[in-house]
Amino acid sequence: MGKKTLLFLTVFLAGLGCASKAVAAFDKAVASVQYREWYARLQADIATLDKQVPAGQQVTEADVARLCESSVVPGSRGTKNLAVWLNHARKSPSHTVHGEIVIVGEFLVLMHMFEQAIPVGEGGLFPETPGNGFPDRGLKVIYMDTHGCDGLDSASVGELFKPYHLPPAGILERDAYPFLLFEERNGRLRYGGMGREWMGVLHNIYSTQFH
């Protein structure tokens, strides 16, 4: 093997090592601060929306894009599903009573999950399918630990995934761990959507109230 070839392989392998370390460098402390700041902005944006869109009026995606711009990516899945959740909350009571049991509405369960979940890893950029109506905005997959949400433990969450595990850094793996989608700019997050894995946990928490 020539010296040039050996030098090339050395540099190449060193580059791979650096890239691997870069992918693995998920700072949970920084991610947690960014996430808490995002959740505070989301709460403030929703409060503003509730004031500006009359209670009997339908919340549109345009309303969410305009009034929640600091916390939600306009035109994303996040805009669409937040409008759906807000309308659902307006049509249904936040709490219902069945005998001695108080049932919490799904929107409050969702907000509780947002409040209690912890970012624990990154799964790279979410690959948008061309023609699905959502432009490719380079949204990050952020894996979220939901064990603290409404007393869930690892066993109850693990039953939803086969097998339940946190994927390697930078890898999007479906049906393995709940995640949210975020745009990150200048250290600030904006919500872009939720994976079906997150929805599965949400429905699990909501449905346990009836057992």
CA gap 113, 108 in Å, rounded: 8
Cβ atoms 43, 24 nearer than 8 A: no
Q: Tell the burial category of 50 from Cβ atoms under 10 Å away from its Cβ (0-12, 13-18, 19+).
A: middle
Domain range list for the chain: 28-210
State pTM to two decimals: 0.82
pLDDT, the chain, mean? 82
The predicted-structure confidence for 111-167, as pLDDT tens digits, reads as follows 989 999 999 999 999 987 776 777 667 899 999 998 766 555 555 677 778 788 999
Query: CB-based contacts of 32: which residues, under 8 Å, 6+ apart?
Result: 118, 119
The more confidently predicted of residues 159 and 61 is 61
Looking at the predicted structure, is the pLDDT value of residue 65 above 60?
yes
Residue 98, strand partner residues: 101
Q: Of 210, 202, 203, 199, which Cα lies nearest the Cα of 96?
A: 210
Q: Stretch 94-106: mean pLDDT, rounded?
A: 61
Task: Specify the pLDDT at position 35.
Answer: 98
Burial class (CB in 10 A: 0-12, 13-18, 19+), 173: middle
DSSP 3-state percent helix, strand, coil across the chain (nearest 5):
50, 20, 35
Cα–Cα dist 75/67, whole Å: 13
Task: Copy the structure tokens of residue 114.
Answer: 């947002």
| Least confident piece of the model among 27-36, 125-134, 183-192 | 125-134
Give the mean model confidence (pLDDT) for residues 40-53: 96
Inter-CA distances, 106 with 35, 53, 89, 169, 207, Å: 21, 21, 8, 31, 9
Note the helical H segments in the chain: 3-24, 28-52, 61-67, 77-91, 106-116, 154-158, 196-207
Reported confidence tier of residue 6, pLDDT bands at 50, 70, 90: very low
